[in-house]
Amino acid sequence: MDPRRRRLPRRRGIRAWRYGDRAGLCTLERVQEREFWQLLEEVLGRGYGRALAHDQVLDRLDGMTAIEALDAGEEPRVVWNVLCDQMGIPDAERW
Protein backbone atom coordinates (compact mmCIF):
# COMPACT_ATOMS: atom_id res chain seq x y z
CA MET A 1 0.00 0.00 0.00
CA ASP A 2 1.20 3.49 -0.85
CA PRO A 3 2.52 5.17 2.34
CA ARG A 4 0.79 8.44 1.35
CA ARG A 5 -2.56 6.68 1.44
CA ARG A 6 -3.89 6.48 4.95
CA ARG A 7 -7.12 5.21 6.35
CA LEU A 8 -9.54 7.66 7.91
CA PRO A 9 -11.74 6.73 10.87
CA ARG A 10 -14.87 4.77 9.99
CA ARG A 11 -18.03 6.80 9.81
CA ARG A 12 -21.42 5.11 9.81
CA GLY A 13 -19.98 1.86 8.54
CA ILE A 14 -18.34 3.31 5.43
CA ARG A 15 -14.64 3.17 4.71
CA ALA A 16 -13.15 6.40 3.45
CA TRP A 17 -9.62 6.84 2.17
CA ARG A 18 -7.58 9.96 1.71
CA TYR A 19 -4.72 10.05 -0.77
CA GLY A 20 -1.90 12.40 0.12
CA ASP A 21 -3.21 15.84 1.01
CA ARG A 22 -6.25 15.72 -1.24
CA ALA A 23 -9.46 16.30 0.67
CA GLY A 24 -11.90 15.31 -2.08
CA LEU A 25 -13.57 12.29 -0.53
CA CYS A 26 -16.55 10.71 -2.20
CA THR A 27 -18.36 8.20 -0.04
CA LEU A 28 -21.24 5.91 -0.76
CA GLU A 29 -23.16 7.65 2.01
CA ARG A 30 -23.00 11.04 0.30
CA VAL A 31 -24.10 9.57 -3.03
CA GLN A 32 -27.07 7.84 -1.41
CA GLU A 33 -28.11 10.98 0.43
CA ARG A 34 -27.87 13.01 -2.78
CA GLU A 35 -30.09 10.44 -4.50
CA PHE A 36 -32.58 10.74 -1.64
CA TRP A 37 -32.92 14.48 -2.25
CA GLN A 38 -33.16 13.99 -6.02
CA LEU A 39 -35.96 11.44 -5.62
CA LEU A 40 -37.73 13.66 -3.12
CA GLU A 41 -37.75 16.56 -5.57
CA GLU A 42 -38.74 14.42 -8.57
CA VAL A 43 -41.62 12.67 -6.82
CA LEU A 44 -42.96 15.43 -4.55
CA GLY A 45 -41.60 18.63 -6.05
CA ARG A 46 -38.82 20.79 -4.69
CA GLY A 47 -40.76 22.98 -2.26
CA TYR A 48 -43.28 20.42 -1.00
CA GLY A 49 -40.69 17.65 -0.75
CA ARG A 50 -38.26 19.74 1.27
CA ALA A 51 -41.08 20.97 3.52
CA LEU A 52 -42.12 17.36 4.20
CA ALA A 53 -38.54 16.33 4.94
CA HIS A 54 -38.28 19.19 7.42
CA ASP A 55 -41.72 18.98 9.09
CA GLN A 56 -43.27 15.51 8.63
CA VAL A 57 -42.79 13.37 11.74
CA LEU A 58 -42.12 9.76 10.77
CA ASP A 59 -43.68 7.38 13.30
CA ARG A 60 -41.61 4.36 12.21
CA LEU A 61 -38.41 6.33 12.80
CA ASP A 62 -39.10 7.13 16.45
CA GLY A 63 -40.87 10.40 15.71
CA MET A 64 -37.97 11.97 13.83
CA THR A 65 -38.33 13.97 10.64
CA ALA A 66 -36.51 12.81 7.50
CA ILE A 67 -33.78 15.39 8.05
CA GLU A 68 -33.32 14.35 11.68
CA ALA A 69 -33.19 10.67 10.70
CA LEU A 70 -30.55 11.31 8.04
CA ASP A 71 -28.50 13.38 10.51
CA ALA A 72 -28.80 10.54 13.05
CA GLY A 73 -27.23 8.14 10.55
CA GLU A 74 -30.28 6.32 9.23
CA GLU A 75 -29.81 4.98 5.71
CA PRO A 76 -31.34 7.28 3.08
CA ARG A 77 -33.11 4.31 1.46
CA VAL A 78 -34.86 3.49 4.75
CA VAL A 79 -35.88 7.12 5.30
CA TRP A 80 -37.20 7.33 1.73
CA ASN A 81 -39.31 4.17 2.06
CA VAL A 82 -40.72 5.20 5.44
CA LEU A 83 -41.61 8.66 4.11
CA CYS A 84 -43.29 7.14 1.03
CA ASP A 85 -45.21 4.61 3.14
CA GLN A 86 -46.46 7.30 5.49
CA MET A 87 -47.48 9.60 2.62
CA GLY A 88 -49.20 6.76 0.73
CA ILE A 89 -46.99 7.02 -2.35
CA PRO A 90 -47.44 3.87 -4.48
CA ASP A 91 -44.39 1.73 -5.29
CA ALA A 92 -44.62 2.58 -8.99
CA GLU A 93 -44.10 6.29 -8.27
CA ARG A 94 -41.23 5.92 -5.81
CA TRP A 95 -38.47 5.25 -8.35
Give CA–CA dist 44/89, Å, rounded.
Answer: 10
Domain boundaries, the chain: 27-94
- pLDDT at residue 80, rounded to an integer: 92
- pLDDT at residue 29, rounded to an integer: 54
User: Looking at residues 4-27, what average pLDDT do you find?
Assistant: 43
| 29: CB partners within 8 A, 6+ apart | 11, 12, 14
- Name the amino acid, one letter, at 7: R
Higher pLDDT, 93 or 83: 83
Model confidence pLDDT, tens digit, residues 22-79 = 444 444 456 688 899 999 999 999 999 999 999 999 999 999 999 999 999 999 999 9
- Name the amino acid, one letter, at 71: D
- pTM score of the predicted model: 0.67
